[in-house]
Structure 1
Amino acid sequence: MGKWGSSMLIKLSLMLSLSVVALANNGDFHLFYFVQQWLGSYCDQHGERCCFPDSGKPAAEFSIYGLWPYYNDGSFPYNCGGGNFNEALLKPMQDNLRKEWPSFTCPQIGRKFWVHEWNKHGTCSKSVLGEVAYFKAALALKNRVNILQALTRAGIRPNNQMYPLKAVKKAIARATGFHPWVVCNSNSQGVSQIWQVSMCVDRTGTRLINCPFVPKGQGDCGSQIKFPSY
């Protein structure tokens, strides 16, 4: 095959790959993963630092990390476009978002984090939930799924102690009626610690459901995990 033929083959392969991605991103999603994170673990992980808002360090609590649509094979669409972020629409719920959906990633605080989440994930569910409905759904789920309360009732507290992963999952399942997916990160000493807790939600963004699959690319936990203070 000549140089021109090889070049054309490469271009055709690239076009085909992009077409497959486009079709995947335009497909119908199956469910949502509602993800909360423990900010103590985020701020304590190796190589990260936290930037707190001007109002100061928030109270210790799990906060919203995302509401992510998934396909039925465990993959997920992203950056689907066609849904320009309008900050004015969120003004009535802005105080609640600052409390329940903060970002301590420097310098991605507040609005920048919401823009990112809407553009990357929300736009892929806009056929079901528009911008306002998307953020309202996340806030309503946060109100229903109180991870810290569930763990505290089971005697699992953010006190820098190690707890069995099974006990953490059992406590959350007992409180919510559904099994969670727990994601861990590592602190600067390499210790596995609870970071994210995900629950599956139906396509309307309102009803918790059993998770039919494990999301791809999620971090593993040790059998014993640390619950760091914050």
Structure 2
Amino acid sequence: MGITGMIYMVTMVFSLIVLILSSSKAQQYDYFQFTQQYQPAVCNSNPTPCKDSPDKLFTVHGLWPSNSSGPHPHNCTNTTVKSQTIRSLKAQLEIIWPNVLNRNDHVGFWSRQWAKHGTCASPALKSDMQYFQTVINMYTTQKQNVSKILSRANIKPNGTTKALTDIQNAIRNRNNNMMPKLKCKNNSGIPELVEVSFCGDSNLTQFINCPHPFLPGSPYFCPGHVQY
């Protein structure tokens, strides 16, 4: 084999190794977290005040490929969100997935979520369009809308304390009795419900019990009664 042939062979082998490593990095997850945030609680717990008044709603924070053990994947490729994807879905995303902290920067928020989490969602979700459309479907047609779920259980966002088990049971009635992950933060000495996560398997075909609940001692632990 001549020099040219050897160079070609080495280049091909190197390219194959890079491709394998890139593919494996993108697939290092075993479940998904579909996380929604309660807007007033997000604003209350943020060091910088929200630029606009929050709505009393849970809206999407993100859809995150995650691992039961070991670190969660992030920033798996350098692909950016296509402008065509944003144009096609912008009207729906603004409703269900707003940038609560800065409503003038919705696109930046979605772009950061895609870069950090969406790029790691393959093979279940292979493109930015599929990633964002899946979130829309989960929140709307699949009815994983926390605000509506709690409302149907007569749990209203009136700023009073609620039994944590009532919130958990309302959500479990919608997700095949699987345990959600709840996140709270202290607001003037009162634990306030900030986020709720549904968890699904690596193919997003069925719900699972959320791993890694926040335990006592964590700043995000939810005690027996929380404000909502």
> Does TM, normalized by the shorter one, top 0.5?
yes
Amino acid at match of 1:161: T
Counterpart for residue 29 of structure 2: 29
The Cα of 1:223 is off from its aligned counterpart by 1.4
Q: Structure 1 residues 108, 191: CA separation in 2 closer, same or farther (over 3 Å shift)? A: farther
Q: Structure 1 residues 164, 48: CA separation in 2 closer, same or farther (over 3 Å shift)? A: farther
Counterpart for residue 208 of structure 2: 210
Asked whether the equivalents of residues 25 and 78 of structure 1 are also in contact (C-alpha less than 8 Å), the reply is: no
Distance 1:26 1:150 in 2: 33
Q: Structure 1 residues 221, 74: CA separation in 2 closer, same or farther (over 3 Å shift)? A: farther
TM-score, normalised relative to structure 2: 0.78
Counterpart for residue 158 of structure 2: 159
Asked whether the equivalents of residues 42 and 194 of structure 2 are also in contact (C-alpha less than 8 Å), the reply is: yes
Q: Structure 1 residues 196, 74: CA separation in 2 closer, same or farther (over 3 Å shift)? A: farther
Percent identity over paired residues: 25
Superposed CA RMSD in Å reads 2.5
For the residue of structure 2 that corresponds to 1:32, the secondary structure is strand
TM-score, normalised relative to structure 1: 0.77
The Cα of 1:142 is off from its aligned counterpart by 0.9
Q: Structure 1 residues 24, 92: CA separation in 2 closer, same or farther (over 3 Å shift)? A: closer
Counterpart for residue 136 of structure 2: 139
List alignment gaps of at least 5 residues for structure 2: 1-21
Q: Structure 1 residues 99, 26: CA separation in 2 closer, same or farther (over 3 Å shift)? A: closer
Distance 1:149 1:45 in 2: 23
Asked whether the equivalents of residues 27 and 123 of structure 2 are also in contact (C-alpha less than 8 Å), the reply is: no
Bigger mean CA offset, 170-179 vs 59-68: 170-179
Asked whether the equivalents of residues 74 and 214 of structure 1 are also in contact (C-alpha less than 8 Å), the reply is: no
Distance 1:46 1:105 in 2: 8
Q: Structure 1 residues 108, 28: CA separation in 2 closer, same or farther (over 3 Å shift)? A: farther
Q: Structure 1 residues 68, 46: CA separation in 2 closer, same or farther (over 3 Å shift)? A: closer
For the residue of structure 1 that corresponds to 2:185, the secondary structure is strand
Distance 1:182 1:212 in 2: 9
Matched, 1:60 2:60: no
Counterpart for residue 5 of structure 1: none
Q: May I ask how many residue pairs the two structures share in their alignment? A: 200
List alignment gaps of at least 5 residues for structure 1: 1-21
Alignment of 1:100-179 (within 5 A): 100-106=96-102, 109-129=105-125, 130-143=127-140, 144-177=143-176, 178-179=178-179
